[in-house]
Amino acid sequence: MIQNMVAESAKKRLAAMASRKEVLLGTNQYANPIEFAKDKFAAMPEHTCCGCAEPIVTPVRPIRLAAAYEALRRQTEESAHARPKVFMLTIGDLKMRKARAGFATNFFAVAGYEVIDNNGFESIAAGMEAAEKAKADIVVLCSSDDEYPLYAAEAVAAAKGRFLLVLAGYPKALLEQLQQAGIDHFIYAGQNVLEALQSYQKELGI
């Protein structure tokens, strides 16, 4: 019974960490993007209850809440690929684009990606041209919900074959319209950040 209670508690806390309902500052929230994990963290040692070949009870295994995020950072750093660059294509409403660029910066810094923020662009074309010059891997479209339908199709067309396009936000009322325009990736509050970043690692070949 004790082992089951501990395992269930760990499961809930790991899920809370993944969605950032529980915060470890510098790990799953406000990570330092220029810090390197490889010299700081060691893998968790294997643990047995008493060293016997066939334990008579299920061992209670130690779990570090930060371990999965640290593994993500190490994966980024140790990859044969260059460190991914995430470019903020900020456009439209000043307040919303800044807020969403801040959220997206924090989101991708967790995985150790290099983030390139911007003051704002007059057009999607200008933003994509700047992203090309920056040699970006991911472009995050940052604007307001009301303006996203105006920019989505053009952004998808401009990004195709060049960048992985991500939309900052999850406007439910516009979701079908945005998906029909070709937006496949969204980042938003309450999302399972760990799973999302692991998915981006795969798409980038890391």
Q: Which helix (H) or strand (E) holds 138?
A: strand 138-142
Whether residues 179 and 92 share a domain: the answer is yes
Of the candidates 92, 117, 100, 89, the one whose C-alpha atom is nearest the C-alpha of residue 168 is 100
Total count of domains within the chain: 2
Residues 92 and 181 in one domain: yes
Percent with pLDDT over 90 in the chain = 74
Residues of the domain holding 148: 85-203
Q: Is 77 among the domain residues?
A: no
Same domain, 144 and 199: yes
Do 105 and 30 lie in a common domain? no
Is position 75 within any domain?
A: no
Q: State the pLDDT at residue 39.
A: 62
**CA–CA distance, 124 with 150 (Å, rounded to integer):** 10
CATH number of the domain encompassing residue 193? 3.40.50.280
Residues 89 and 156 grouped into a single domain: yes
Q: What is residue 32's predicted lDDT score, i.e. its pLDDT?
A: 84
Quick one: 100 and 44 in the same domain? no
- Assess whether 123 and 168 both reside in one domain: yes
| Nearest residue to 84 via CA among 114, 46, 58 | 114
Give the pLDDT confidence score for residue 124 in this predicted structure.
97
103-138 pLDDT, tens digit each = 999 999 999 999 999 999 999 999 999 999 999 999
Percent of the chain with pLDDT over 70: 91
The rounded distance, in Å, linking the Cα atoms of 90 and 132 is 15
Supply the pTM of this predicted model: 0.86
- Return per-residue pLDDT of the chain as tens, 206 residues: 999 999 999 999 999 999 999 988 989 988 887 777 666 665 555 555 566 667 678 888 888 899 999 999 999 988 878 889 999 999 999 999 999 999 999 999 999 999 999 999 999 999 999 999 999 999 999 999 999 999 999 999 999 989 999 999 999 999 999 999 999 999 999 999 999 999 999 999 99
CA distance 191 to 69: 15
pLDDT value at position 56? 76
Residues 12 and 92 in one domain: no
